[in-house]
Amino acid sequence: MIAMTADNSYKELLKKIKALEKEAAAHIDSETKFRSVAQSAKDAIITADKGGKIVFCNPAAYKMFGHREGELIGQSVSFLMPQRFRAAHERGMAQVVATGKSNLIDETIELFGITEAGSEFPVELSLSTWVSGDHRFYTGIIRDISERKQHEKERDALIDNLKNSLAKVRKLSGLLPICASCKKIRDDKGYWNQIEAYIRDHSEAEFSHGICPECSEKLYPEYHHQQIKKAERSGKN
């Protein structure tokens, strides 16, 4: 009886060991796949423990922040932020540790990073959390959005210029009361204006004065005929 009990206990222990080995193998396989993806990713991938200490960085993270490989392990995540944001980050991490909750999980936010040389640059951060055993970790995927921000700045400047240009453009619309005889236009105050003066004051148009052939013949017949003869002689030559 004792032998059978011992045999059953051994079998149960062996079953548990095999289950643990299977679980460990799955964990190792999962971690291997994660590292394979992270190593080739163009975005920075950084994992920190619940205290905010960095435990993993992929090559893109070291390149983005200008550090040598291995330098960031053990550093606080706030080390990668400009000084003015660090206190708020530390308070946020303390609240997460105390409550286990964060409004940033599974959200994408924009903030600023800082390189080893001290240069600030805009980044986009997507944050997730996961548990391994009794330990909680946070993984952030970070993208440098400097180029996007520059394009947005140029776009906004272009839009502002277009708005300013449109604000300066004045156009004529609606019915204009015009004298059938002298061709003066009555403005909205009841005054009659020369047509060129009215158009100049209500648009961006400017006038240069000349004389049409009909008016030239009517007002200056001799000069008009001289011009015709001169044109005819030029045509023959």
Which of these, 149, 166, 151, lies nearest to 113 by C-alpha position?
Answer: 149
Whole-angstrom distance, CA of residue 7 vs CA of residue 4: 5
Beta bridge partners of 127: 105, 140
Residues 213, 121: one domain?
no
pTM (2 d.p.):
0.57
Q: Which residue has the higher pLDDT, 6 or 62?
A: 62
Long-range Cβ contacts of 55-62 (<8 Å, 24+ apart): 55/137, 61/142
Residues 61, 114: one domain?
yes
Angle among Cα 18, 19, 22 to the nearest 5 degrees reads: 85
Residues 115, 173: one domain?
no
End-to-end CA distance of the chain: 136
Residues 119, 185: one domain?
no
Residues 180, 142: one domain?
no
Reported as a pLDDT band with limits 50, 70 and 90, residue 145 is very high
CATH number assigned to the domain comprising residue 84 = 3.30.450.20
Residues 65, 100: one domain?
yes
Residue type, 157: A
Please report the sign of the dihedral spanned by the C-alpha atoms of residue 209, residue 215, residue 219, residue 224: positive
**Which residues make Cβ contacts (< 8 Å) with residue 183, sequence separation at least 6?**
195
Q: Is residue 116 part of a domain?
A: yes
Residues 56, 122: one domain?
yes
CA atoms within 13 A on the CB side of 165: 6
Whole-angstrom distance, CA of residue 47 vs CA of residue 32: 15
Residues 142, 224: one domain?
no
Tally of structural domains, the chain: 2
SS3 149: helix
Q: Is residue 2 part of a domain?
A: no
Whole-angstrom distance, CA of residue 11 vs CA of residue 7: 6
Which residues span the domain enclosing 201? Answer: 165-229
Q: Is residue 234 part of a domain?
A: no
Q: Is residue 217 part of a domain?
A: yes
Q: Which two structure tokens, joined as six digits, stand for 45?
A: 């991938």
Residues 180, 121: one domain?
no
Contact 139, 105 (CB under 8 A): no
Backbone angles phi, psi at 41, to 5 degrees: -70, 145
State pLDDT tens for residues 166-203: 666 556 666 778 888 887 888 878 888 888 887 777 77
Residues 182, 135: one domain?
no
Q: Is residue 36 part of a domain?
A: no
Residues 60, 103: one domain?
yes
Region 108-125: mean pLDDT is 93
Reported as a pLDDT band with limits 50, 70 and 90, residue 218 is confident
Q: Is residue 47 part of a domain?
A: yes
Q: Is residue 216 part of a domain?
A: yes
pLDDT at 75: 93
Please report the sign of the dihedral spanned by the C-alpha atoms of residue 146, residue 149, residue 153, residue 155: positive
Q: Is residue 185 part of a domain?
A: yes
- Is residue 25 scored above 70 in pLDDT? no
Residue type, 216: S
Whole-angstrom distance, CA of residue 140 vs CA of residue 43: 10
